[in-house]
Structure 1
Amino acid sequence: MNHTSILQFRTANCKNCYKCIRNCPVKAIKVTNQQAQIIEEQCILCEKCIAVCPQHAKVEHNDIPDIQKVIASGKKVIASVHPAYFARYGWKSIDDLEQCLKKMGFWKVVDAAEGAAMMKEKYTQFLKNQQQKTMRISSNCPVVVRLIEKKYPHLTEHLMPVYSIKQMHAVYLKEQYPDAVLVYISPCISVMADAEEGQAQMDYVITFRELNNWMKDVSEKPKRSTGEKGEVYLSRMTAVSGGLIQAMQPVEGQKYLAVDGIEQCKKILKELKTGEYEDYFIEMNACTNGCIGGGSYSLNQEKKLLDALIAIKELSMEDGEPDYQKDYHMEVPEIPERRFIQEELYPGKAITKEQFTHVLHEMGKYTKEDELNCGACGYDTCRAKAIAVIQGKAEVSMCIPYMREKQENYANIIIDAMPGLLVTIDYDFNIIQMNKAAQDLFDISRKKHLLGKPVGEIMDDYSMINMIAFNREIIQDCIYLGEQKRYIERVLTNDRKNKLILCIMKDVTKEKEREKRENRAKADAVRMADKLAEEQLRIVHEIASLLGETAADTKVVIEELKQTILQEIK
């Protein structure tokens, strides 16, 4: 099995999310073109990214189609089931699960606590036989092993050179059933990663989650046992944190300590130094509460945590105390000691000061005060993010505060470059923002207190009140600013989503003054026209009066002339 394809991302809308990076304990995720990608050689398969991804963008390796083909071919397929299944499914006996899996085509179902029993015996023997006491760390959890190999390689010498439950059980089952195909059913995907080790391996691995989905197609599903519980086997305690220590027979003079949770493990590993804690055996589990907190278990938990812990304890210790006789007693196979590799987590050339400073400046970090260390990008500090950028794991644009500030600055530049005036007001009619043109008009340098103050202090707010009261989209009006002696034409826009009023204004004083001049000129022209008309009428009246008098005199003269002529005729 090639572990490089165990976990990957599908293309998703993960822009500005970075939850997977924030939760990845070794930052084995890079972002390219705003898409997250697993860095396979650095991934420790803790499944944190699967649990937190809101886009469900993670794709896991799936062996079920291949297993179904093997079953269809008629081969004997054996299922080795991790003891956490008691907590996962709540069944009293493995017989219930076996009945279901046989209906699905499995030939045999066995409790992987058999492998745990052999593993704990190996641990005990090793602690008893070591010539010189030295600190030892359990190697059963593949996530812890990969974490130490990649992040704390100097501690690999303290890992127990003993194979895991899955590996031990595989060796045993291969000897017992050499022709069978082995399928390991696990609470997590991390066990897929130890396939490159040389010892005998399971042929396939599926998780409880995958098994649960597969069983949905079975017409008759297993039922919870209502009768007496099955046999008690102490090694089932390895499914919970500290359970391995409880299942092991104590070695005289040996001290024991259990640690669970990836962050706690990291903290302890960071504190461990050569020469200290020589007489301690430390059981480490990457998942909180041990394997019952594994990714595949916790994502589809059917039982409460308390019930799960009780179920494991009852099926491991009859009276609540470890009984080393009530366990699987398998013949431990003779296999060589397990070897571990030391990997450099961030291979490559050393980072120069110039590179580091350049990237910090690209992120807008010029001083210590600029380094907010907000963690929004997924990295704990701005400096860690800068290192990731140099390593090709991150992009400068992932710095959300910087990009937001940059966009705001760019927006402000555009707004300030506007020839028009812009004032933004909230629904309480307080001034939120003013562009430079508006600041110049209202002399913001002298009235710095205006920001956050009622807009009524600088202009008439009746139209704004009317807009909110009647839920209007847009209003246009023109007001006069007495203090500035300016006429302002306004367009008020109601931004309901952000509960803001955008007031875009234009100084129309010149137009108004020109209009006034034109109106005055028109009024003067009208007055002049009226005066001219009045004068013309006066002249006409005078002419008419003169003409009237002349006509009367002429009439008298003509009449007299007429009478004279008539008299002469007579």
Structure 2
Amino acid sequence: MNVISFQDASCAHCYKCLRHCPVKAIRVKGGQAQIIQDICVYCGHCMEICPQNAKTFESDLAYVKSMLYKKENVVISLDPSFRGLLQYEKQGQVVDAFLKLGFSQVRETAEGAALVTEEYCRLVKEGSMENIITTTCPGVISLVEKHYPMLIPYLAPVISPMLAHGKLIKEMLGNDVKVVFVGPCVAKKMEAELDPRTRGVIDAVIEFNELEAWLEEEGIDFMDCGEAKFANPDPMVNQLYAVNNGVIRSVKASGGMGAYIDISVNGLTNCRELLHSMKRGYISRCFIELNCCDGACVNGPGVNKKRGYRFKARMDIENYVLNAAPKLLYQLSGEKMTRTYMPKPVMEKEPTEEEIQKILKTIGKSNSDKEFNCGACGYQTCRDKAIAIYQGKAESSMCLLRTFEITRSKANVVMETTPNLIFIFDRELRIKEFNRRAEEVFKTERRKALQMYLFDFIDPTDFEEVFKTHENKLREKRQWPMYHMTILETIVYIENSDTCLAIIEDITAEEKRSEYILNRKLKTVQIAQSVIDKQMQTAQEIAGLLGETTAETKAILTKLRDSILEDEV
């Protein structure tokens, strides 16, 4: 099972997800982007920035609905970021909405965060760890295990607030209870369902976006709901876990930090920068709060970013939360609050320098001057992309500059070799493109023609008409007397650029040949007609002579017959 699914999409030459993935966990195969599970840290940002919505969250919503349909005891663990990300007037309306959906209880995940805060305070007080990296964000854990395994000893051996809350709920209400986490995080689903070390504590994960769609489907509006209470006591300062620096503030409010210097870092790129510094030994005796998302959980991928709630959400939470530590009514054993980590280093075969140079040549980078390192393909340098091609993560066709050069080269061949005149002009009839054949006919160099207008060369009536009507003219015959040419003109309106493309086919030679052939045919017809006329005259003369001879013969024969008859008598 995957947390993020990629639907088939026409994403060729986009690579936006790859450009925005700091760990390059995207493989492009056949022009289609794919997740590389062994590299991915499940931050979910590729879902947010995909222009075609080709990346989707694997939903648990159908499973949650089935549990409710079967009347199971299902409890909500609600991420504290709800206070700034859901639209309501009073928080009790949110609780009432969940109860109307069929959940038995609604509890705040911050209840589990309070237990986590106590564990962080214990670690700070002990002071045995050189550095302490918070483990509230599962994306950060994946980042360290996969990309900085040498820093695993600095990960706090403490479960996340979601896991602590799930364990707490099942300890209080029994193992038969089902716990559904609702929040803005994609990585939480990985932590709840894919990681064998943490699987089974949380039964399902729902994003805020999914929740709002579900409520709309059921016809439930927060504003129309009554007020109901959370089933948990006020977690106070621990609700700040959803915002930047919230973990540190919770630890400080609970009396912790000691000799450690606190550092708060947000955003995957910034997290990598800090971890790289730690790897090189530049960081020591620090308590470090790391969050994959800029601004922490209130800016998670499961949030409708079009609302622009990120900063409003932080203010709403901070204005509501009481900056004090709560009295813990429940505890979990140290064993249940502890977790371990394991290195999962990304193992990729590295090409030799010879192999890299060979690949660079195949993508048109025959020397360093051709390596523009534009980053359009998603890799910072052409060399990085060559390595990715060797590793099967990228394709040679991903170089947009190379594709453009090839396309432009082919287009130039057409423009330079076609026997037709081709020019492009704008609404003011200013010439924007002018090919070699046009230079020959109009006896004007292209660089000069690009500063001139169409009416400087020909009658623009037809071309103005196309601009006015947007109706194309296709192969219409015209005469250009000043150029002694007969042409077929094709004029096409280009809507996107509000320009026109003209293709002029010179058919003067064909017209002259057609005229020559027609004259030959007419001359032949005249000769044939003359022969026919003479033949008819001869036939008529012969017919006349035959008529006279026949009459004379008849008269003679008649006289001969009569004389013979007379002699007989």
The TM-score, its normalising length taken from structure 2, stands at: 0.78
Aligned to 2:166: 170
Q: 3-state SS of the aligned residue for 2:333? A: coil
Range that drifts further, 449-458 or 389-398: 449-458
**Residue 30 of structure 1 aligns to a residue in which SS?**
strand
Matching residue's letter, 2:339: R
Partner in structure 1 of residue 197 of structure 2: 198
| Residue equivalent to 2:527 | none
| Equivalence for 1:273 | 279
Mapping 1:113-128, distance limit 5 Å:
113-128=110-125
For 1:314, the aligned partner's letter is N
Aligned with 2:264 (options 258, 261, 272): 258
Question: What's the RMSD between the two structures over aligned residues?
Answer: 3.5
Q: Is the 8 A contact 2:150 2:279 kept in 1?
A: no
Residue 250 of structure 1: how far off its partner (Å): 2.9
Note the alpha carbon deviations across 1:67-95, whole angstroms, 9 max, x for none.
23233333322221111122222557765
**Structure 1 pair 168–274 and aligned structure 2 pair: CA distance change class (3 A):** farther
Task: Tell me, yes or no, if the aligned pair for 1:292 and 1:298 is still in contact at 8 Å.
Answer: no
Q: Does 1:157 align with 2:153?
A: yes
Change (3 A) 1:72 1:512: closer
Q: Work out whether residues 467 and 473 of structure 1, in 8 Å CA contact, stay in contact via their aligned partners in 2.
A: no
Contact 1:14 1:35 in 2 (8 A): yes
Task: State the 1:503 CA deviation.
Answer: 3.9
The answer to whether structure 1 residue 143 and structure 2 residue 149 are counterparts is: no
For the pair 1:246 / 2:236, whether they are aligned, the reply is no
- 3-state SS in 1 of match to 2:182: strand
Partner residue in 2 for 1:313: 318
CA distance in 1, matches of 2:35, 2:114: 35
Q: Is the 8 A contact 2:467 2:500 kept in 1?
A: no
* Aligned counterparts of 1:284 and 1:259: Cα–Cα separation in 2: 5
Report if aligned partners of 1:487, 1:512 keep a CA contact under 8 Å in 2.
Answer: no
1:491 aligns with 489
8 Å CA contact retained: 2:135, 2:159 = yes
Distance 2:36 2:385 in 1: 16
1:331-370 equivalences in 2 (<5 Å): 331-335=331-335, 337-345=338-346, 347-370=347-370
CA distance 1:244–1:510, change in 2 (3 Å)? closer
- Separation (CA, whole Å) in 2 of partners of 1:94 and 1:70: 25
C-alpha contact (below 8 Å) 2:477/2:486 kept by paired residues: no
- Aligned equivalents of 1:477 and 1:204: distance in 2? 73
Change in Cα spacing, 1:87 to 1:283, as seen in structure 2 (3 Å) is same
Give 1:445-460 correspondences, 5 Å limit. Answer: 447=445, 449-454=447-452, 459-460=457-458
8 Å CA contact 2:293, 2:300 repeated in 1: yes
Match of 2:18 among 17, 21, 31: 21
Letter of the structure 1 residue corresponding to residue 137 of structure 2: C
Which stretch shows the higher mean deviation, 177-186 or 326-335?
326-335
1:392 CA drift (Å):
2.0
Percent identity between the two aligned chains: 27
- Answer yes or no: is the 8 Å Cα contact 1:489–1:507 preserved in 2: yes
Contact kept, 8 Å, 1:234 with 1:247, in 2: the verdict is yes
Per the TM alignment, residue 381 of structure 1 is displaced from its structure 2 partner at its CA by 3.0
Whole-angstrom CA distance in 1 between matches of 2:160 and 2:229:
31
Measured in 2, the distance between the counterparts of 1:117 and 1:97 equals: 22
Query: What is the alpha-carbon distance in structure 2 between the residues aligned to residue 469 and residue 262 of structure 1?
Result: 51
Distance 1:220 1:478, change over 3 A: closer
Measured against aligned partners, the alpha-carbon deviations of 1:202-230 in whole angstroms (never above 9, x if no partner) come to: 12222222222222344554447889999
1:266-415 to structure 2, matched below 5 A, reads 266-299=272-305, 304-317=309-322, 322-324=323-325, 326=326, 328-335=328-335, 337-345=338-346, 347-415=347-415
Closer/same/farther in 2, CA of residues 424 and 307 from structure 1, 3 Å limit: closer
Whole-angstrom CA distance in 2 between matches of 1:96 and 1:424: 62
Q: 1:14, CA displacement in angstroms? A: 2.3
Distance 2:134 2:420 in 1: 71
Residues 441 and 122 (structure 1 numbering): CA distance in 2 closer, same or farther, change over 3 Å?
A: same
Partners of 2:205 and 2:70 in 1: how far apart? Answer: 19
Q: Distance in 2 between matches of 1:225 and 1:272?
A: 50
Distance change >3 Å, CA 222–CA 365, structure 1 → 2: same
CA distance in 1, matches of 2:82, 2:503: 65
Counterpart amino acid of residue 197 in structure 2:
G
Shift of residue 433 of structure 1?
3.8
Contact 1:114 1:330 in 2 (8 A): no
Partner of 1:335, secondary structure, is helix
Distance in 1 between residues matched to 2:85 and 2:26, nearest whole Å: 29
Q: Does structure 1 retain, via aligned residues, the 8 Å contact 2:184–2:300?
A: yes
Q: What is the DSSP-based 3-state SS (H/G/I as helix, E as strand, rest coil) of the residue aligned with 1:369?
A: helix
Question: Which is worse superposed, 211-220 or 138-147?
Answer: 211-220
Separation (CA, whole Å) in 2 of partners of 1:391 and 1:182: 41
Cα deviation for residue 351 of structure 1 reads 1.3
| Deviation at residue 394 of structure 1 after TM alignment | 2.2
TM-superposed CA distance for 1:160, in Å, is 1.5
Letter of the 2:352 counterpart: T
Aligned-partner SS, 1:502: strand
Residue-by-residue CA offset, 1:287-307 (whole Å, 9 max, x unaligned): 122111111134475x84444
Q: Cα distance, 1:41 vs. partner?
A: 2.3
Cα distance in 2 for residues equivalent to 1:481 and 1:354: 62
For residues 417-456 of structure 1, the aligned pairs below 5 Å read 417-439=417-439, 447=445, 449-454=447-452
Mapping 1:12-161, distance limit 5 Å: 12-89=9-86, 95-131=92-128, 134-161=130-157
CA distance, structure 2, for counterparts of residue 70 and residue 488 of structure 1: 79
Q: What amino acid maps onto 1:171 in structure 2?
A: K
Q: What is aligned with 2:3?
A: 6
The code of the aligned residue for 2:502 comes to: L
- The structure-2 alpha-carbon separation of the partners of 1:160 and 1:443, relative to structure 1 and needing over 3 Å to count, comes to farther
Q: Which amino acid aligns with 1:453?
A: Q
1-structure distance, mates of 2:311, 2:511:
79
Question: Does the Cα contact within 8 Å between 2:257 and 2:287 map onto a contact in 1?
Answer: no
Task: Give me the whole-angstrom Cα distance separating, in 1, the residues matched to 2:219 and 2:485.
Answer: 81
Question: Measured at CA, do residues 43 and 181 of structure 1 come closer, stay the same or move farther in structure 2, by a change above 3 Å?
Answer: same
Q: Which runs of 5+ in 2 are unaligned?
A: 523-569
Name the CA distance, whole Å, in 1 between partners of 2:463 and 2:375: 42
Q: Which moved more, 1:75-84 or 1:97-106?
A: 97-106
CA distance in 2 between partners of 1:466 and 1:222 (Å): 59
Cα separation, 1, equivalents of 2:176 and 2:510: 98
Note closer, same or farther for the CA distance 1:145–1:411 as it changes in structure 2 (3 Å cut): same
TM-score calculated relative to the size of structure 1: 0.78
Q: Is the contact between residue 167 and residue 201 of structure 1 (CA under 8 Å) also seen in structure 2? A: yes
Measured after TM superposition, the shift of residue 504 of structure 1 is 2.1
Q: 1:137·1:159 contact (CA, 8 Å) conserved in 2?
A: yes
How far is the alpha carbon of 1:329 from its aligned partner? 4.8
Amino acid at match of 1:173: I
Q: Which stretch has the larger CA shift, 335-344 or 503-512?
A: 503-512
Amino acid at match of 2:478: D
Distance 1:327 1:28, change over 3 A: farther
Q: Counterparts of 2:93 and 2:467 in 1: how far apart (Å)?
A: 68
